[in-house]
């Protein structure tokens, strides 16, 4: 073994000693245990009795029907009476994968020609001007999750 | 007291209780193994914050897979390092960059050495070694971290990495040679810098 090897071995030993007591901060444990609680709270309905399951199913059907009717009503209202405020308020367009729970996202603001968005298939009456401000929600993998148009 | 009880119970028993939905068993497993996973991830990424994310992800995987984990096939340490390795590699591939190690990483027992000059030199030397480890290709870096710094056996490291024991041996040999060269170069540059500083003083 050369003196360089000895030197490296001593350094590695020193680094191992220096790092031996290091651990993840307490907030990481808190986050992990929160995830445990959330996961196991979500599984609780699986243990409900048959009667409870049937009641849940019926309630779900009622809610689904209600939401469907409400959605139809909203679509009708939007089509018939477009609000003037909607012309100027930001328009949110979801693209790509949905944002996962707990996913870290970045918000990038940029200005681009409206024609660029037209070319991407984004059509909006708000895109009448030449340049448009766009807030892009970017996911952890660098792919856009959503756009907000600020006419 | 709680810690003593945690140690008394085997990983296998704790995993079985975790699979059955026992929160305390999962917390005990976390407390027992998080340090090793955190140190592995930090040495592999050079970033304390990335290491925290990786620890979180590894234990979320354990939480979901505890029922499917087969204790006879591999020790829990092997399983956790295997998951940590996959999560770390995915993260490094995604980011394709290494993060500065200086932030929040400087606390060590060397800081309390009475001889301030020697302490600074030792701290610098360790920092150089961390940087040299970070600059190794990941297949070499992981064997140095697992075998030399986490002191895993070649067999356990091979099971974690998913390769033959002979591959671990040859990678470790190659990794140490690369590391020695890098440390020697860094020492040379550092020696010149120190001499310049002395001249300046």
Where residue B111 falls among pLDDT bands split at 50, 70, 90?
Answer: very low
* Confidence grade of residue B65 (pLDDT, cut at 50, 70, 90): confident
Give the tens place of pLDDT for each residue, A22-49: 899 999 999 999 999 988 876 554 454 5
Listed by start position, the domains of chain A span: 20-81, 84-150
Domains detected in chain B: 9-99 (1.10.1740.10), 111-201 (1.10.10.10)
> Is residue B170 predicted with pLDDT exceeding 90?
yes
Closest chain A residue to B121, measured at CA: A11
Interface size, chain A vs chain B, as Cβ–Cβ contacts under 8 Å: 91
**pTM for the full model?**
0.60
Q: What is the pLDDT of residue B109?
A: 40
Q: Residue B200 has what pLDDT?
A: 46
Model confidence at A1: pLDDT above 70: no
Distance from CA of A51 to the nearest CA of B (A): 24
Residue B38's SS3 state is helix
How far B148 CA lies from chain A's nearest CA (Å)?
A: 7
Which ipTM value was assigned to this complex? Answer: 0.74
Mapping DSSP to helix (H, G, I), strand (E, B) and coil, where does residue B94 land?
Answer: helix
Tens of pLDDT, residues B23-56? 999 999 999 999 999 999 999 999 999 999 999 9
| pLDDT tier for residue B189 given thresholds of 50, 70 and 90 | low
Chain A positions with Cβ closer than 8 Å to B:
4-5, 7-8, 11-12, 14-19, 21-25, 27-29, 31-33, 35-37, 39-40, 43, 140-142
| Strand, helix or coil for residue A39 | helix
The C-alpha atoms of residue B31 and residue A111 are separated, in whole angstroms, by 48
- Range list of H helices, chain A: 3-19, 26-43, 50-80, 84-88, 114-119
pLDDT in tens, B132-149: 999 999 899 999 999 999
The mean per-residue pLDDT over the stretch B63-74 comes to 82
Of A5, A25, A39, the CB nearest to B63: A39
Break chain B down into helix, strand, coil percent, rounded to 5: 80, 0, 20
SS3 B29: helix
């Amino acid at each position: 073994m050369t003196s360089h090897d000895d030197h490296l071995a001593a350094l590695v030993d020193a680094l191992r000693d220096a790092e031996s007591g290091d651990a993840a901060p307490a907030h990481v444990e808190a986050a992990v245990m929160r995830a445990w609680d959330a996961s196991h709270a979500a599984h609780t309905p699986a243990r409900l009795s048959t009667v409870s399951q049937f009641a849940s199913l019926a309630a779900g059907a009622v809610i689904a029907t209600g939401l469907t009717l409400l959605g139809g009503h909203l679509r009708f209202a939007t089509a018939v009476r477009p609000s003037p405020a909607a012309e100027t308020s930001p328009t949110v367009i979801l693209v790509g994968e949905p944002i996962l729970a707990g996913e870290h996202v970045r918000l990038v603001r940029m200005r681009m020609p409206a024609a660029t968005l037209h070319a991407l298939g984004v059509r909006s009456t708000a895109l009448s001007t030449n340049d448009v401000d766009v807030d892009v929600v970017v996911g952890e993998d660098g792919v856009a999750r959503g756009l907000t148009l600020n006419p | 007291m709680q810690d003593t009880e945690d140690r008394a119970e085997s990983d296998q028993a704790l995993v079985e209780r975790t699979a059955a939905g026992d929160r305390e068993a999962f917390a005990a497993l976390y407390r027992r193994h998080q340090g090793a996973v955190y140190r592995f991830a930090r040495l592999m990424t050079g970033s304390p914050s990335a290491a925290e994310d990786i620890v979180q992800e590894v234990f979320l995987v354990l939480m979901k897979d505890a029922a499917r984990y087969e204790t006879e096939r591999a020790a829990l340490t092997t399983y956790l390092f295997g998951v940590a390795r996959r999560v770390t590699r995915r993260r490094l591939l995604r980011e394709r960059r290494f993060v500065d190690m200086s932030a929040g990483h400087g606390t060590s027992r060397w800081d309390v050495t009475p001889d301030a000059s020697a302490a600074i030199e030792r701290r610098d030397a360790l920092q150089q070694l961390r940087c040299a480890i970070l600059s190794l290709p990941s297949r070499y870096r992981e064997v140095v971290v697992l075998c030399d710094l986490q002191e895993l056996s070649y067999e356990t490291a091979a099971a974690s990495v998913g390769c033959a024991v002979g591959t671990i041996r040859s990678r470790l040999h190659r990794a140490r040679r690369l590391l020695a060269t890098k440390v020697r170069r860094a020492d040379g540059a550092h020696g010149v810098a120190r001499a310049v500083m002395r001249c300046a003083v």
